[in-house]
């Protein structure tokens, strides 16, 4: 394992560029701001690819105490999260150049956008739980600024709610970190866990409560019941490109936290077959169903998509809780597929708002006649989220269901068959709350005024990122090896 500061280049670069865009006087001119932001996004993405191809894969930045280093290490899990992060961040950023000219304080938005990019990469490359926790808190504080960007009363209250929920979850995680420090020889992530068998002998019931609190803590960011309430409040009030990355990327910080906790800190041997696994599976399935039902009842499109995120992210959590390789493959595929799909859907919603001013589902009658390309992208991604082949959403849900059914006959066989049932019901509800926009958009009925119809397709800067993400949503289903090859067998 070779250490080099080169590992930190993708982290440092967007933070520096973000501060320049945010604070430098010469960046106040819009053309300069766009060039600096685009340069920051592109150079960071290139540097990530470059670092991932190097032999150097770790770096110790500093020591908080003699035994607590701020340490970065690139493993296969971090690579998967970093690669889909740069794709979504580039696309949402490009969309934002056109979208944010209708908003105020563009420099603050794009400066913060770049800084959050750097911190998220630091989170993905964190080599121990101390570094991960510090980056996790920084993500919360900085993404909070994206939520309240408009500074309306609604945005401020939503931002404060997000902050309160996130801090509560983080303190649950911090409690677990204290205990880990006592019962392990290291805090560096290690496949299989880091607990010292001699120190934990007889303490297993207590440690199960500790890991449960950490799962709940990270479940806040992932939108898992009962700590999901911030998500449908915060996502709709943010600008559309911010909503896209909040829903597609930021919630995955909680998912990554759970992966690190269960598979790299405590180990599956402690949790498998315990009450923690049962409760975790139960909470995940309840959240899947609850989120789908709330989305089905919601009339505002962005809020409907936020409730959808509550449901869809818990598909991933269920796969992690099953704890076999098939379900894990499905979970990782859904991590990537959901990022591309949900980012596309939020960007489409933002384009609808910019082009027509309409925010409610019932107002979008005939939208397919006005914006056929955009609505086709929305439709393809909706079908992907439902789980229609050959999209990534179909393949991820197939693996999740098969992984769950593999557990049939075990002591927890209730969830082995209940899981696929809930996933199927949720898929039907997903079709029920997403596809009405398509149906009424392309088939508005006889009452629609066709004579007043005018084309409102968004400009190419908004349309191209949506098309790219739509293609990637299908690509993951056609070529899943691009994802599964990175994780095969490495965290069992």
pLDDT per residue over 138-196, tens digit each? 999 999 888 888 888 888 898 899 889 999 999 999 999 999 999 998 899 988 888 98
Pair 52, 79: CB distance under 8 Å? yes
Cα end-to-end distance, the chain, whole Å: 22
Exposure b/e, 107-127, CB count within 10 A at least 16 = b: bebbbbbbbbbbbbbbbbbbb
CA 470 to each of CA 160, 287, 362: distance values in angstroms, whole numbers, following the listed order:
33, 26, 24
CA 432 to each of CA 105, 323, 386, 396, 481: distance values in angstroms, whole numbers, following the listed order:
37, 30, 9, 20, 31
Query: Which tens digit of pLDDT belongs to each residue from 428-459?
Result: 999 999 999 999 888 887 776 666 767 778 88
**Segments in the chain below pLDDT 50:** 488-490, 492
* Backbone phi, psi, residue 205, to 5°: -60, -40
* Distance in angstroms (rounded) separating the CA atoms of residues 149 and 335: 27
For the chain, give every domain's residue range. 272-492
Pair 125, 182: CB distance under 8 Å? no
- Report the pLDDT value the prediction gives residue 492, as an integer from 0 to 100: 46
Q: How many residues does the chain have?
A: 492
Pair 245, 139: CB distance under 8 Å? no
Which tokens is 425 given? Answer: 């019901």
* Distance in angstroms (rounded) separating the CA atoms of residues 482 and 461: 27
| C-alpha neighbours within 13 Å on the C-beta side of residue 341 | 34
∠ CA(172), CA(334), CA(298), 5° rounding? Answer: 75
- Report the pLDDT value the prediction gives residue 113, as an integer from 0 to 100: 92
Beta strands 58-65 and 68-73, pairing class: antiparallel
- Report the pLDDT value the prediction gives residue 237, as an integer from 0 to 100: 85
- Report the pLDDT value the prediction gives residue 56, as an integer from 0 to 100: 65
- Report the pLDDT value the prediction gives residue 273, as an integer from 0 to 100: 87
* Distance in angstroms (rounded) separating the CA atoms of residues 323 and 284: 14
- Report the pLDDT value the prediction gives residue 451, as an integer from 0 to 100: 63
């Amino acid at each position: 394992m070779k250490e080099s500061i080169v590992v930190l280049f993708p982290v440092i670069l967007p933070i520096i560029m973000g501060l320049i865009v945010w604070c430098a006087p010469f960046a106040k001119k819009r053309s300069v701001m766009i060039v600096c932001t685009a340069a920051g996004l592109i150079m960071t993405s290139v540097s990530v690819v470059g670092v991932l191809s190097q032999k150097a894969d770790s770096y110790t930045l500093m020591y908080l105490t003699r035994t607590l280093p701020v340490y970065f290490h690139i493993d296969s899990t971090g690579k998967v999260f970093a690669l889909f992060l740069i794709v979504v961040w580039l696309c949402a950023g490009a969309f934002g150049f056109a979208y944010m000219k209708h908003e105020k304080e563009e420099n603050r938005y794009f400066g913060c956008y770049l800084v959050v990019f750097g911190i998220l990469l630091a989170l993905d490359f964190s080599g121990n739980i101390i570094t991960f926790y510090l980056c996790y808190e920084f993500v919360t504080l900085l993404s909070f600024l994206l939520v309240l960007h408009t500074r309306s009363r609604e945005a401020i209250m939503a931002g404060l709610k997000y902050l309160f929920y996130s801090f509560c979850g983080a303190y649950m995680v911090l409690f677990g970190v204290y205990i880990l420090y006592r019962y392990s020889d290291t805090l560096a992530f290690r496949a299989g866990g880091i607990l010292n068998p001699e120190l934990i002998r007889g303490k297993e019931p207590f440690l199960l409560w500790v890991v449960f609190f950490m799962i709940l803590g990270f479940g806040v960011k992932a939108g898992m019941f009962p700590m999901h309430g911030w998500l449908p409040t915060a996502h709709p009030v943010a600008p559309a490109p911010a909503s896209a990355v909040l829903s597609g990327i930021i919630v995955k910080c909680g998912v990554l936290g759970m992966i690190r906790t269960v598979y790299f800190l405590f180990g599956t041997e402690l949790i498998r077959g315990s009450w923690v696994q049962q409760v975790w599976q139960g909470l995940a399935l309840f959240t899947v169903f609850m989120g789908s039902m709330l989305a089905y009842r919601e009339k505002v499109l962005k809020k409907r998509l936020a409730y959808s995120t509550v449901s869809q992210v818990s598909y991933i959590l269920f796969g992690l809780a099953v704890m076999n390789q098939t379900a894990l493959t499905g979970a990782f595929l859904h991590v990537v597929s959901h990022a591309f799909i949900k980012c596309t859907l939020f960007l489409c919603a933002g384009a609808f708002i910019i082009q027509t001013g309409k925010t409610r589902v019932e107002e979008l009658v005939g939208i397919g006649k006005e914006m056929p390309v955009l609505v086709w992208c929305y439709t393809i991604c909706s079908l992907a989220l439902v789980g229609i082949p050959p999209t990534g959403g179909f393949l991820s849900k197939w693996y999740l269901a098969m992984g769950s059914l593999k557990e049939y006959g075990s002591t927890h066989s209730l969830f082995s068959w209940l899981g696929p049932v809930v996933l199927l019901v949720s898929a039907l509800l997903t079709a029920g709350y997403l596809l009405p926009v398509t149906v009424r958009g392309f088939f508005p009925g006889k009452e629609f005024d066709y004579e007043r119809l005018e084309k409102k397709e968004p400009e190419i800067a908004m349309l191209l990122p949506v098309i790219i993400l739509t293609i990637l949503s299908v690509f993951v289903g056609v070529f899943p090896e691009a994802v599964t090859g990175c994780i095969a067998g490495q965290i069992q």
